[in-house]
C-alpha cells in the first residue's frame, strides 16, 4: 500500500511540474529565454520557478544602463542557470557593468593606504586643476617620472612643499594611482599617524608595518614634519627607511608644509635635545631620493 501511495505522489508531482512549466511557457518571452539554454526540456521542467527568477533578472539586465540602475536581487549580479550533468545549477554571475567596474577598479588593489582617506584612491591626473600655473612643472615632472620608471631608470621622487590645502597630497596621490594602473605597488602613508600607530604596535606587528613601508616599490610619506619629533622617530624609523630606500633605488615621495630647511631645523630639535648632525643626515637622504618642488596655491579645502 505504501509503495502505491508513493508512486501516486510521484505521479502527481510530475503532473504538477509539467503543468507549471507549460503555464510559464505560455509567456512567449520566457519560452524564448529557455530556448536559448542548451538544456533538455525534461530537465528544465524541474526548475520552472528558479528559471522564472533567472528570466526576470535577465530582463532587468537587458534594459539596464548602469550599475546604479540595477534592479536585481544582488546588485551587479545575475541569477544564472547552468547545466551540470542531469541537473541545473544556479549561481550569481557578475553583469557586464559590474565586470567593467571591477576592471576599472582593479588598480586599487595595488594601493596600500595607511591612515589616508579612502577617496584618495579616486584622485586622478585628468582632474587636476589646470587653472593654476604652479602645477604645470609638477605635472611635467610626473610624465618624466613615469617614462623613466617604465624604463627602470630609477627616477627620483618629489619633495613637494607648499601651503596647507594647496593640493599636494591630491597631486602625488593622482600620480601614484596612475602608477597603480600600471601594476606598480604603491603605499600612501599619512606619516604623523603612521608614527603613532607604529609606536603602539611594538608588541604586535611592528616589524611587518615597518618593513612594508620600507620596501614598498613606490612610497608617499604624506605631511612629514607635522609629527612631534622624537629621537626614536628620527633615528629608528625615518633614518632606516630612507637609508634602505636610497640603497635600493626605491621611488619615494614626500609632501610637507615645511621646506627642506625648515624640516632640518624641526628634525634637529627633539624632546631629548638638539642634534644638528642627525637632522642633516636625514635631509641628505631626502635630497638623494627626491627633487624639491613647491606648490603654491589657494586653500582648496572647504
Residues that bind Mg ion (CB under 5 A): 169
Min dist. Cβ of residue 128 to ligand ADP (A)? 4
Contact pick of 128, 146, 226, 260 for ligand ADP (by CB under 6 A): 128
Confirm or reject binding of residue 177 to ligand ADP (CB under 6 A): no
Rounded to the nearest whole angstrom, what is the least distance from the CB of residue 137 to Mg ion in the complex? 19
The interface with ligand ADP within residues 64-93 (CB under 6 A) comprises none
* Nearest-angstrom CA–CA distance, 223 and 138: 18
Residue 228 is given by DSSP the state: P
* Partner in contact with 216, chosen from Mg ion, ligand ADP, none, beta carbon below 5 to 8 Å by kind: none
Q: Which does 155 bind (CB under 5 to 8 A by kind): ligand ADP, Mg ion, none?
A: none
Which CB, 72 or 169, lies closer to Mg ion?
169
x/- track of binding to ligand ADP for residues 214-253 (CB under 6 A): ----------------------------------------
Among residues 72, 110, 216, 255, which is the contact residue for ligand ADP, using CB under 6 A?
255
Of the pair 81, 167, the CB lying nearest Mg ion is at: 167
Beta strands at 111-114 and 157-162: parallel, antiparallel or unpaired: unpaired
Torsion-angle region of residue 273: left (phi > 0), alpha (psi -120 to 50) or beta?
left
| Listed ranges 21-29, 121-129, 227-235, 236-244: which one lies at the site for ligand ADP (CB under 6 A) | 121-129
DSSP 257: S
Q: Is 245 helix (H, G, I), strand (E, B) or coil?
A: helix
In this complex, which beta carbon is closest to Mg ion, that of residue 188 or of residue 268?
Answer: 188
Closest to Mg ion by CB, 7 vs 296, is 296
If one asks whether residue 129 binds ligand ADP (CB under 6 A), the answer comes out as yes
127 lines the binding site for ligand ADP (CB under 6 A): yes
Please identify, using beta-carbon distances, which residue of 99 and 164 lies nearer to ligand ADP. 164
Total residues binding ligand ADP (CB under 6 A): 14
How much helix, strand and coil, in percent to the nearest 5, is found in the chain? 55, 15, 25
C-beta of 146 vs 246, nearer to ligand ADP: 146
Q: Which letter, b or e, does each residue of 251-285 get, where b requires 16 or more Cβ atoms within 10 Å of its Cβ?
A: bbbbbbbbebeebbebbbebeeeebeeebebbbeb
Closest Cα to residue 253, out of 226, 216, 278?
216
**Cβ atoms of 51 and 34 closer than 8 Å:** yes
Report the greatest alpha carbon distance in the chain: 101
The three-state secondary structure class of 70 is coil
Q: Which three cell numbers mark 12?
A: 502527481
Take residue 130 and report the three cell numbers written for it.
Answer: 589646470
Kindly tell me which of 48 and 169 has the beta carbon lying closer to Mg ion.
169
**Contact present, 134 and 300 (Cβ < 8 Å):** no
Residues 205, 172: contact at Cβ < 8 Å? Answer: no
For the chain, the straight-line distance linking the first and the last C-alpha, in angstroms and rounded, comes to 82
- Report the residue number, 106 or 164, with the smaller CB distance to ligand ADP: 164
Say whether residue 113 binds ligand ADP (CB under 6 A).
no
Choose the one of Mg ion, ligand ADP, none that binds residue 157, judging by a C-beta under 5 to 8 angstroms depending on kind. Answer: none
Q: Does 300 bind ligand ADP (CB under 6 A)?
A: yes
Query: Taking a C-beta distance cutoff of 8 angstroms, is the pair 249, 148 a contact?
Result: no
Determine if 166 is a binding residue for ligand ADP (CB under 6 A).
yes
Binding site for ligand ADP (CB under 6 A): 127-129, 162, 164-170, 255, 300-301
Amino acid at each position: 500500500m505504501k509503495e502505491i501511495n508513493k508512486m501516486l505522489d510521484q505521479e502527481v508531482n510530475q503532473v504538477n511540474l509539467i503543468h507549471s512549466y507549460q503555464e510559464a511557457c505560455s509567456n512567449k518571452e520566457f519560452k524564448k529565454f529557455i530556448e536559448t539554454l542548451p538544456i533538455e526540456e525534461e530537465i528544465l521542467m524541474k526548475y520552472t520557478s528558479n528559471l522564472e527568477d533567472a528570466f526576470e533578472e535577465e530582463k532587468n539586465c537587458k534594459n539596464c544602463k548602469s550599475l546604479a540602475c540595477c534592479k536585481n536581487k544582488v546588485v551587479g549580479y545575475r541569477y544564472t542557470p547552468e547545466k551540470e550533468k542531469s541537473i541545473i545549477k544556479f549561481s550569481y554571475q557578475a553583469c557586464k557593468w559590474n565586470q567593467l567596474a571591477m576592471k576599472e577598479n582593479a588598480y586599487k588593489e595595488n594601493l596600500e593606504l595607511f591612515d589616508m582617506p579612502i577617496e584618495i584612491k579616486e584622485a586622478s591626473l585628468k582632474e587636476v586643476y589646470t587653472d593654476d600655473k604652479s602645477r604645470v612643472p609638477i605635472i611635467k615632472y610626473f610624465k618624466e617620472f613615469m617614462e623613466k620608471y617604465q624604463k627602470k631608470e630609477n627616477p627620483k621622487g618629489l619633495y613637494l612643499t607648499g601651503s596647507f590645502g594647496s593640493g599636494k597630497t591630491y597631486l602625488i596621490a593622482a600620480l601614484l594611482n596612475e602608477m597603480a594602473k600600471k601594476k606598480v605597488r604603491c603605499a600612501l602613508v599619512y606619516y604623523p599617524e603612521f608614527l603613532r600607530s607604529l609606536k603602539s604596535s611594538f608588541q604586535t606587528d611592528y616589524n611587518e608595518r615597518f618593513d612594508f613601508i620600507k620596501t614598498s616599490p613606490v612610497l608617499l610619506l604624506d605631511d612629514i614634519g607635522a609629527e612631534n619629533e622624537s629621537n626614536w622617530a628620527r633615528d629608528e624609523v625615518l633614518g632606516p627607511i630612507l637609508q634602505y630606500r636610497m640603497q635600493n633605488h626605491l621611488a619615494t615621495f614626500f609632501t610637507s608644509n615645511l621646506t627642506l630647511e625648515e624640516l632640518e631645523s624641526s628634525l634637529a630639535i627633539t624632546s631629548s635635545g638638539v642634534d644638528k648632525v642627525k637632522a642633516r643626515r636625514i635631509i641628505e637622504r631626502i635630497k638623494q631620493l627626491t627633487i624639491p618642488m613647491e606648490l603654491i596655491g589657494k586653500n582648496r579645502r572647504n
